[in-house]
Chains A and B, each alone.
Chain A
């Protein structure tokens, strides 16, 4: 039970923040020393991390592109959008569907402020500060209501965000609640830190995130597949990031499991 939203969330720049750490992994400079310290520490223990983040970003691109081009989806709800400097959803989708509308959602006030700055002049893109864990509040926001109202298919992007929802907050229930709000033909895009790819790294990596406001819960492939209950999984199902519909067969690489992240896309019948 969380408190009523009377007092806004803090903006403690002395604590590492998942969105800014992610930006650092991707070679960006939208971050502060605390973020960089944590990212350097993580990369020291696990040098593959930047590659994993790039694979995640590439999955986002491929999934958005597919949904826009093949399924004709023009409405996207990107939850946990963070600092979308590199290949944001609207850029990828508008390459094929110029009238795409996107609502970006993040719970970090700094990420939200940043997104508003860089999207200030972009039409049909909204940024809201909301929390996936309070999914009813999220769905009640005017921007989200407007996105869902016409009953056209909407793609919900949960890219690298569900692993920041602990089991205590019942992520399956949150996804189910989202599903109930979606019109038929909508899509669910999930990528999630996986437990099985690098079991040697899982423990220490989760420990690092324990000190942040966004503790990390890596989950098994079965758990991740479970998020798609009620959806029809597109081929090839829930797989390691590079394995999901690669641009070219050669880009998968010999050890996709080293990318550890799991990915899948489902369609609502």
Chain B
């Protein structure tokens, strides 16, 4: 380094120094701020370089100033020393000056680093304490929530170990929370558990469902039963693996007992304590909801003989005591057999045999009724001889309805009464139909059509190949003011005899075609084909063809969407007039099917000449497959034979009366085209059909799986 003009070198040094600072970290600093810093630190260095005596401390101050202004990058030190070395110095203080600058910079950086580390450590500690405080507060809140909740809460793992319970839960079980430790969820089974509760539990802990709710009874520690409303939910970890189960229980014992009492009152006869009319019908209807294929039931309709005399001569009080005694005897004699005894009202009782094994069992029950009442009843000083008449009905569930069954049993009872008292009489379908028609049908029917007492239900007909609802059969119903809803079996015969079948048949065709046209308008090709029964007398009527033509025109229904079902007896020979009408209908585009095939004496030769395109195999063929008294193997061979016969004639086959998935599958395998029956759906209101058409569009729909 050499002597030079201090003023000139000072200018050069300042310029170099400022440029050096601006290149690095200085780019982030405002130029005026940088300018001030460059001037201040440059001054210090210039004085350190030029002042006499040499004050290295000034260079150190300049280094510290840089660090204070965030020039902490080691590259700054290297650049700074380069600029310092480049300036001419008055003596050999160069190395000392650089050293002092570097030391000042480094010392300040060390201080700054330690200070910043201290600050950030303090900040981290503060933050962590805040978090811990918040966590403790949060935990305290949750603990308080858990401990003092009025609802019982329990936490368990997915192996069923109970980990923690709150006070309310302990109280529900009649103890403290500590009494529940070590208990396993599976220990809490109760014999009255609602079906499905444990399946739901297994699904939950297996991660297959998120929560379930049930009303569930538990045993308390004192052996009493406590009823709870239970909600169990699953808690998963962040990866979705089931971790805990949380159960919440609300004690609903009082509410439950009240409900039970109200229910008992609603379903029991206050005089005799027997189930009442409502309870009986509830049980009966439940029986019809989801019967096993081929399931049977029995009814004994019981009426006391001469009760009115007792009541009138000895007074109501005596009558009531007698009824109570009779109820006691019937209950004692029949309930142990598993039958339900109910009082329908007055002196009428009924015995319901669920899962009846046949007529013999129902008759045996009737005999038991009569035997139970054989001995006189002792009331006060009176020895009262009571007899009874019993109407016995025993049927396959699928062949009737609850209302029709009770009505039939009642009518059978009257036959027993008429035949002389103190006896039982067995249901006879012919007698029953005769009695129904005598009783009300023929008299009331003409006015019923005008009064709008008829309506139409539709039963699905399913294409076995793909399970779709290909057609529906229109089934006329009569909402009879006294008898309730009657099916076609109960009044169509009379209608044919009286000629009323003509206006009724026309009305049915008009209604059903209108309905079918409406479905087509709403659903297009997804609408089912309509099938309507044609009575023999209708087929022989001269106006049939023009009637149907008019109806199709007025409703706008495509003839191809209408199928008429005729019976084997509609056409009796090749010269039959009816044959012409049928041909005319087929020419029109309407299709024909033979209904109830196999029940009449078919002349197969005529069958070939009939313009039909389909056969419906009578329900009794499929129904017989489940009759224990009949040869199942032979039954299937008959059905199979009918199917191949129909196919030989080029006809499609519909099997009626299909009640199980297994039968449906077997029919499908033997090539049967369509099927109908409870398995595929009962006759329902048109709105229900519309809903099914709409649902069939959904991909997950499994129509055949519904009942």
**Chain A interface residues (CB < 8 Å from chain B):** 6-11, 13, 20, 26-32, 50-51, 54-55, 57-58, 61, 65, 83, 85-87, 92, 109-114, 116-118, 247-248, 251
Closest residue on chain A to residue B131 by CB atoms = A8
- Nearest CB in chain B: distance from A67 CB, A: 14
Contact status A27-B25, CB under 8 Å: yes
- Nearest CB in chain A: distance from B15 CB, A: 15
- SS of B interface (majority): helix
Taking CB atoms, residues of chain B closer than 8 Å to A251 are 27
Contact status A117-B123, CB under 8 Å: yes
Given known A20-B120, A30-B116, contact A109–B72 (CB-CB < 8 A): no
CA distance A159 to B340 in the complex (A): 82
Contact status B130-A114, CB under 8 Å: no
Taking CB atoms, residues of chain B closer than 8 Å to A50 are 73
Contact status B28-A54, CB under 8 Å: yes
**Chain B interface residues (CB < 8 Å from chain A):** 25, 27-31, 70, 72-73, 112-113, 116-117, 119-120, 122-124, 126-128, 130-131, 134-135, 138, 141
Given known A7-B138, A87-B28, contact A27–B72 (CB-CB < 8 A): yes
CA distance A144 to B221 in the complex (A): 57
Contact status B119-A114, CB under 8 Å: yes
Taking CB atoms, residues of chain A closer than 8 Å to B116 are 28-30, 85
Contact status B127-A54, CB under 8 Å: no
Contact status A55-B30, CB under 8 Å: no
Contact status B120-A29, CB under 8 Å: yes
Contact status B124-A110, CB under 8 Å: yes
Taking CB atoms, residues of chain A closer than 8 Å to B119 are 30, 114, 117-118
Taking CB atoms, residues of chain A closer than 8 Å to B128 are 11, 109
Taking CB atoms, residues of chain B closer than 8 Å to A109 are 127-128, 130-131
Contact status B126-A29, CB under 8 Å: no
Contact status B130-A61, CB under 8 Å: no
CA distance A32 to B112 in the complex (A): 15
Given known A58-B27, A61-B30, contact A8–B120 (CB-CB < 8 A): no
CA distance A251 to B72 in the complex (A): 21
The 9 closest A-B pairs by CB, nearest first: A114-B123, A109-B127, A29-B116, A27-B72, A8-B134, A113-B123, A113-B126, A113-B127, A30-B120
Contact status A11-B124, CB under 8 Å: yes
In the complex, which of the residues A10, A28, A54, A116 contacts B131, with contact meaning CB atoms closer than 8 Å? A10
CA distance A61 to B32 in the complex (A): 13
Contact status B130-A54, CB under 8 Å: no
Taking CB atoms, residues of chain B closer than 8 Å to A112 are 127
In the complex, which of the residues A29, A87, A110 contacts B117, with contact meaning CB atoms closer than 8 Å? A29
CA distance A112 to B126 in the complex (A): 10
- Nearest CB in chain B: distance from A17 CB, A: 10
Taking CB atoms, residues of chain B closer than 8 Å to A13 are 124
Contact status B123-A86, CB under 8 Å: no
CA distance A28 to B67 in the complex (A): 11
Contact status A65-B131, CB under 8 Å: no
- Nearest CB in chain B: distance from A50 CB, A: 7
Closest residue on chain A to residue B123 by CB atoms = A114
Given known A29-B113, A109-B130, contact A7–B124 (CB-CB < 8 A): no
- Nearest CB in chain B: distance from A58 CB, A: 4
CA distance A32 to B117 in the complex (A): 8
Contact status B27-A11, CB under 8 Å: no
CA distance A55 to B131 in the complex (A): 34
Taking CB atoms, residues of chain B closer than 8 Å to A116 are 123, 126
Contact status B73-A9, CB under 8 Å: no
Closest residue on chain B to residue A10 by CB atoms = B131
Contact status B31-A248, CB under 8 Å: yes
CA distance A92 to B33 in the complex (A): 11
- Nearest CB in chain B: distance from A56 CB, A: 8
CA distance A8 to B70 in the complex (A): 34
CA distance A259 to B73 in the complex (A): 19
Given known A30-B119, A61-B30, contact A117–B126 (CB-CB < 8 A): yes
Taking CB atoms, residues of chain B closer than 8 Å to A29 are 112-113, 116-117, 120
Taking CB atoms, residues of chain A closer than 8 Å to B31 are 247-248
Contact status B122-A117, CB under 8 Å: yes
- Nearest CB in chain A: distance from B336 CB, A: 61
Closest residue on chain B to residue A247 by CB atoms = B31
CA distance A54 to B113 in the complex (A): 19
CA distance A61 to B29 in the complex (A): 8
Closest residue on chain A to residue B128 by CB atoms = A11
- Nearest CB in chain A: distance from B19 CB, A: 11
CA distance A26 to B122 in the complex (A): 21
CA distance A109 to B117 in the complex (A): 17
Closest residue on chain A to residue B115 by CB atoms = A29
Taking CB atoms, residues of chain B closer than 8 Å to A31 are 120
CA distance A114 to B30 in the complex (A): 25
Closest residue on chain B to residue A86 by CB atoms = B70
Taking CB atoms, residues of chain A closer than 8 Å to B130 are 8, 109, 113
CA distance A20 to B70 in the complex (A): 16
- Nearest CB in chain B: distance from A203 CB, A: 27
Contact status A110-B27, CB under 8 Å: no
